[in-house]
Chains A and B, each alone.
Chain A
Amino acid sequence: MNGYNFAYLDEQTKRMIRRGLLKAVAIPGYQVPFGGREMPMPYGWGTGGMQLTASILGEDDVLKVIDQGADDTTNAVSIRAFFERVAGVETTTDTAAADVIQTRHRIPETPLSAGQVLVFQVPIPEPLRFIEPSEEETRVMHALEEYGVMHVKLYEDIARHGHIATTYAYPVKVDGRYVTDPSPIPKFDNPKLHMSDALMLFGAGREKRLYAIPPHTRVESLDFEDHPFEIQAWDAPCAMCGARDSFLDEVITDDAGGRMFVCSDTDYCQKCREEVA
């Protein structure tokens, strides 16, 4: 594209990010500080994920971009168009056909396979941030593996509500060491992080942190013996494809309280409907 390097970022910035990614993969769940750059899109709209995607993407890669599980949400459309423009790569909505998938808030329902890379957009990478706002303090807590406050917080939920009241961005422990924010995916998706075949990279542009969960890595959602980790489930199947194993979005259908539930993963829903047909 006129005046810009392949995939927008200059090579020196890419190398800086690439070196950071190698560290991230070597220390799973540890947040590596990186010199995040301004992107031509606002902070908070996926600039971290985009910088990671731009740094790993090659001309032969096939790219998929989703937001809320869907390929056609406006921000997914916008980011996909950006990479088509600046990298000229082929794009797809088919989860299985993609080499690199950039996502916001979901992990695809179709199991990922070896060689695929899932890039998460992360708003607040620090899982302890809402308990301890100071970066100086949370850094020490990670260094000392001092995660008691997180359990206290979850337990306070139980005391007040009878349940752990965290439903998304549910904290995990990666490879038995780092408590890590899985980005605001619903806790429904947490089990997909565990022993995945795919490489998972996380980029937080505004906060200038990147981290990774390599393939075949233990990822446990924090819980208690008497309150084990649980995921959401629905009694009704998807109203469009009949899937019973996917995360469902609630859609309001009229102004009389009518509503229906459909797959948030549009590609999965489409595939299920094709199978039925």
Chain B
Amino acid sequence: MMRWPAFSDPVHDGQRHFRRVLAAMAEPGTLHVAAAPAVPEDAAIGPALWATLLSLCDLDTRLWIAPGLEAGGLTGALSFHTGCRLTAAPEDADFALVTPGTLAEPAPLFAEGSDAYPDRSTTLLVVLEALAEGDAWRLAGHGIPDTRGLDLGEAGPLMTRLAANRARFPRGLDAILTCGERLAAMPRSTRIEANVADIRQEECPCTSQ
């Protein structure tokens, strides 16, 4: 019916979704389910990511979109609902819409901030094929009492890039991970280890459970 659906109540839906993202970023690796709006027709992103764009983007933000992810009416819907500006320069982006493969070398050079202004960095909004609790990736660091585990499906290039964050801290990229209605986050401070023995290549589709 509506080509460009969005929050039915922008103020309160936006607030609720932001709190989920905030909780996800504060406790990396925890899973959150977005009571999310329908996505724009034929878009390549799921409801959790659409809700994240709606709640964080506006006239003051610049978004970089990886080739292929602008499918369907996404850019039209974004500009209609948020007014956010698209940029072709990854280093200018406040947010970047990516898949794990986008981070494969040679990867776009996103902003990592500087030692003096580490906040001037790009936040990755990642479209995953799987996102579930699991053992493929062990996470530690702030917000994690001991360690936490996630399965992300095929996410090698992304996780290699995020694991490199530690060495450059406080510079780095923060990532909001989404799959369908699910959402988790991995800030730059998270320590990441691949659980090599336990990586299972089989899919753990996010629509299960």
Chain B interface size, as a band, is 35 or more
- Interface 1/0s, chain A 212-227, versus B by CB < 8 A? 1011111000000000
Does residue B55 face the partner (Cβ distance < 8 Å to A)? yes
Nearest-neighbour CB distance to chain B for A149, whole angstroms, equals 17
Chain B binding site: helix, strand, loop or mixed by DSSP?
loop
A5 at the interface (CB under 8 A from B): yes
Beta-carbon contact of B145 and A30 below 8 Å = no
CB neighbours of B58 from chain A (8 A): 11-12, 15
Q: A19-B61, A25-B25 are in contact. Are A11 and B11 (CB under 8 A)?
A: yes
Nearest opposing residue in chain B for A6, CB measure? B11
**Bound: A44/B23 CA distance, A:** 28
On chain A, the residues within 8 Å of B188 by CB distance are 26-27
Q: Are A140 and B116 in contact (CB under 8 A)?
A: yes
Taking a contact as CB atoms under 8 Å apart, the answer to whether B116 and A215 are in contact is no
- B144 at interface (Cβ–Cβ under 8 A)? yes
Is the beta-carbon distance between A23 and B119 smaller than 8 angstroms? yes
Interfacial chain B residues near A5, Cβ < 8 Å: 11
Within 8 Å CB of A14, what residues of B?
Answer: 15
Q: Which of B18, B26, B142, B189 contacts A18 (CB 8 A)?
A: B18
The segment out of A51-59, A72-80, A163-171, A185-193 that lies at the interface is A51-59
Contact residues in B for A178 (Cβ distance below 8 Å): 170
Q: Mark B75-111, 1 if CB is under 8 A from A, else 0.
A: 0000000000000000000100000000000000000
Closest partner residue, chain A, to B115 (CB atom): A143
Report yes or no: A139 in contact with B116, Cβ–Cβ below 8 A. yes
- Bound CA–CA A103/B69 (angstroms): 43
- Checking B59, B94, B170 against A30 with a beta-carbon cut-off of 8 angstroms, the contacting residue is B170
A6 to B145, CA, bound (A): 35
Q: Determine if B156 is an interface residue (Cβ-Cβ < 8 Å).
A: no
Give the secondary structure class of A's interface.
mixed
Tell whether, in the assembled complex, residue B187 and residue A25 are in contact, meaning their CB atoms are under 8 Å apart. yes
Residue A16 at the B interface, CB < 8 A? Answer: yes
Identify A23's interface contact among B11, B114, B174, CB under 8 A: B174
Contact A27 B116 (CB under 8 A): no
Which of A12, A23, A139, A212 is in CB contact (< 8 Å) with B26?
Answer: A212
Closest approach, in angstroms, between the C-beta of B20 and any C-beta of chain A?
11
Assess whether B170 is in contact with A22, with CB atoms less than 8 Å apart.
no
Quick check: is A177 within 8 A (CB to CB) of the other chain? Answer: yes
Q: Does B22 make an interface contact (CB < 8 A)? A: yes
Q: CB < 8 Å: which of B12, B59, B187 contacts A6? A: B12
| Contact A22 to B25, CB < 8 A, known contacts A5-B11, A57-B15, A216-B145 | yes
A215:B123 contact, CB within 8 angstroms: no
Q: Write the A116-136 contact mask toward B (1 if CB under 8 angstroms, else 0).
A: 000000000000000000000
Residues of chain B touching chain A, judged by Cβ–Cβ distance below 8 Å, are 10-12, 14-16, 18-19, 21-23, 25-27, 55-61, 94, 114-116, 118-119, 121, 123, 141-145, 169-170, 174, 187-189
Can you list the 10 inter-chain pairs with the closest CB atoms, starting with the nearest?
Answer: A26-B187, A143-B115, A214-B26, A217-B142, A143-B116, A23-B119, A26-B174, A214-B143, A58-B15, A25-B25
